[in-house]
Amino acid sequence: MSIRLRLVLSYLAMLIVPLVLSILAVIVVFKLDGSRGNPIKNIINQEADVYADIKLMSIREPESFLQRSVADGIDERLNMINMNLIVRVNNDIVYTSPDISSTVHLGRLPEFGAVSDYDSDFRGQHLITRHEDFLLPDQREGSVFVVSDDNPFPKYIQGYFAWLFTILLIILALTNGVLTYLVSRSIIRPLKALQRAAEEIKEGNLDYQVNPKSKDEIGKLSVAFEEMRVKLKESVELQLQYEENRKELISNISHDLKTPVTAIKGYVEGIMDGVTDSPDKLDRYVKTIYSKTVDMDRMIDELFLISKLDLGKLPFHFEKVDIGAYIQDCAQEITFDMEKRGIKLELTALPEEAVLIKADREKLKRVLVNILENAMKYMDKSDGKISLRVIVQDGKAVVSVKDNGQGISKDALPHIFDRFYRVDPSRNTSTGGSGLGLAIAKQIIEEHDGLIWAESETGKGTTVYISLPAWNKHDREGA
């Protein structure tokens, strides 16, 4: 439930609950009092009783009204139900209840024989006078007036007013207190949890989770906060990973450069010491030095490339490329080299129609050459065979390079795209690998919004796949 709705409902409840409880309290009070009989009914009954007696008396023994003790008796009974008695003979008031004597405008009492019992303005309040006329034996005209409030209810209520008022106040205070507590708790608790989480994050504890329980505005804020924490954690971890990679890179670079440099130094020292006593030997030494420098040059080149890719400083020039034709060109370039090594290159399943992709020709070529060179480098069969295929799958061009070489073990396969990873470092020294080739290939393919992966079986061969998205009409050449 949203906070807005919760506040609206709580305000409504603050109005409705006290009202309902007050009504219930009034009912309970009256019920409790009613256990002694219905108070209002009692009043009405008593009034009827007294009035019946007065009527009877006015017929049977009207002169009794003139006796003070009788009049007092009736007045007393009337007083119990908030009524008073007045007796008038001719125009003289012969009896007035002590309660009203001073304030009554006696002149306003109904005349003898008047039909109406009521005088709404009697005594300046809303009162009823009921009256009963009688004739005394000496023919004097007498009237008995019963004076009461218009409605006994308000008077009755007065007795309970203090009670009801107190109950109402308690109900109001309780309802407001409970509702305010509940509403504020549901808002303040999650806010405090958020505040705590923010403090934990400030202190560097990025594992502190906020578990939003509500679906209201604060719940949504907590979800956003949690997402922010996860992103922050990921980015910090990524930074740490970068830092770790950088250190590893420096250590790998130092190690990998040290090996050829040490070798070159050894050969040069040999030449200086006169070990190369024959032109043949000297030639071999110089060739080895040359090949080591070529390795170093290549490695420095790859390092330079990977660091530029890392920094995002390597510009890509994307063009609309027909992948079938492009693969054919690349294959032609490398065929000679392959034939020299006795490896057969097969081009299979090239698409008949042009399949356009978005690619940086030069960089994609580097990737393909690297994969093909690997296929040649790690070929251990005399009838070496490499097949190149292009198929279109789900709107993507998938290029595969399959060889029947030594293959890669299951343990090593997930790592071949890692930097400096070599399945067999000692063998690779002889093949001249730096372990950077596939890492660079992966980065270049990812820049193309593509994917690169490999499948392999030890002893049988390896297939490297590259999937590249087709040219999209929103793509721009050169971008």
From the list 127-135, 245-253, 271-279, 402-410, the region that binds ligand ADP by CB under 6 A is 402-410
**By Cβ distance, which residue is nearest to ligand ADP?**
433
Tell me: does residue 465 bind ligand ADP (CB under 6 A): no
Residue 109 or residue 444: which is nearer to ligand ADP going by CB? Answer: 444
- For tokens 């990973």, the residue is 241
Q: Which of 467, 462, 443 is nearest to 375 (CA)?
A: 462
From the list 33-41, 73-81, 197-205, 400-408, the region that binds ligand ADP by CB under 6 A is 400-408
Q: Count of residues binding ligand ADP (CB under 6 A)?
A: 21
Q: Nearest distance from residue 431's CB to ligand ADP, in Å?
A: 7
Residue 134 or residue 421: which is nearer to ligand ADP going by CB? Answer: 421
Which of residues 408, 452, 466, 468 is near ligand ADP by CB under 6 A? 408
- Its sign, for the CA torsion 199, 202, 207, 211, is positive
CA–CA distances in Å: residue 19 to residues 12, 26, 171: 11, 11, 9
Tell me: does residue 212 bind ligand ADP (CB under 6 A): no
Distance of CA 177 to the CA centre of its chain: 29
Q: Which of 123, 76, 125 is nearest to 103 (CA)?
A: 123
Backbone angles phi, psi at 381, to 5 degrees: -100, 150
From the list 17-25, 170-178, 421-429, 468-476, the region that binds ligand ADP by CB under 6 A is 421-429
Residue 86 or residue 436: which is nearer to ligand ADP going by CB? Answer: 436
Partner residues linked to 321 by β-bridges: 357
Residue 96 or residue 404: which is nearer to ligand ADP going by CB? Answer: 404
Residue 6 or residue 385: which is nearer to ligand ADP going by CB? Answer: 385
Q: Tokens standing for 210?
A: 């906020």
Site residues for ligand ADP, window 319-378 (CB under 6 A)? 370, 374-375, 378
Cβ(439)–Cβ(367) under 8 Å?
no
Tell me: does residue 142 bind ligand ADP (CB under 6 A): no
Residue 88 or residue 419: which is nearer to ligand ADP going by CB? Answer: 419
Which of residues 186, 214, 328, 428 is near ligand ADP by CB under 6 A? 428
Stated length of the chain: 479
Which of residues 152, 403, 443, 450 is near ligand ADP by CB under 6 A? 403
Q: What stretch of H or E contains 23?
A: helix 3-34
Q: Nearest distance from residue 402's CB to ligand ADP, in Å?
A: 9
Which of residues 148, 405, 445, 450 is near ligand ADP by CB under 6 A? 405
Rounded Cα–Cα distance for residues 436 and 419 (Å): 5
How many Cβ atoms from other residues are within 10 Å of residue 195's Cβ?
A: 11
Tell me: does residue 438 bind ligand ADP (CB under 6 A): yes
Residue 75 or residue 403: which is nearer to ligand ADP going by CB? Answer: 403
SS3 331: helix
Largest distance between two CA atoms of the chain: 178
Q: Nearest distance from residue 427's CB to ligand ADP, in Å?
A: 8
Q: Nearest distance from residue 457's CB to ligand ADP, in Å?
A: 11
Which of residues 423, 445, 452, 468 is near ligand ADP by CB under 6 A? 423
Tell me: does residue 406 bind ligand ADP (CB under 6 A): yes
Q: Nearest distance from residue 393's CB to ligand ADP, in Å?
A: 22
> Contacts for 375-378 with beta carbons within 8 Å, 24 or more apart?
375/343, 375/401, 375/403, 375/405, 375/462, 375/464, 376/337, 376/338, 376/341, 376/343, 377/431, 377/432, 377/433, 378/403, 378/405, 378/406, 378/431, 378/462
Which of residues 422, 450, 452, 465 is near ligand ADP by CB under 6 A? 422
Which of residues 62, 212, 435, 450 is near ligand ADP by CB under 6 A? 435
CA–CA distances in Å: residue 400 to residues 237, 391, 466: 34, 8, 6
Q: Which of 203, 72, 64 is nearest to 136 (CA)?
A: 64
Q: Nearest distance from residue 460's CB to ligand ADP, in Å?
A: 11
Which of residues 434, 444, 445, 450 is near ligand ADP by CB under 6 A? 434
Which of residues 87, 89, 327, 416 is near ligand ADP by CB under 6 A? 416
Backbone angles phi, psi at 342, to 5 degrees: 75, 25
Q: Nearest distance from residue 454's CB to ligand ADP, in Å?
A: 7
Radius of gyration, alpha carbons of the chain: 55
> By the criterion CB under 6 A, which residues form the site for ligand ADP?
370, 374-375, 378, 403, 405-406, 408, 416, 421-423, 428, 433-439, 462
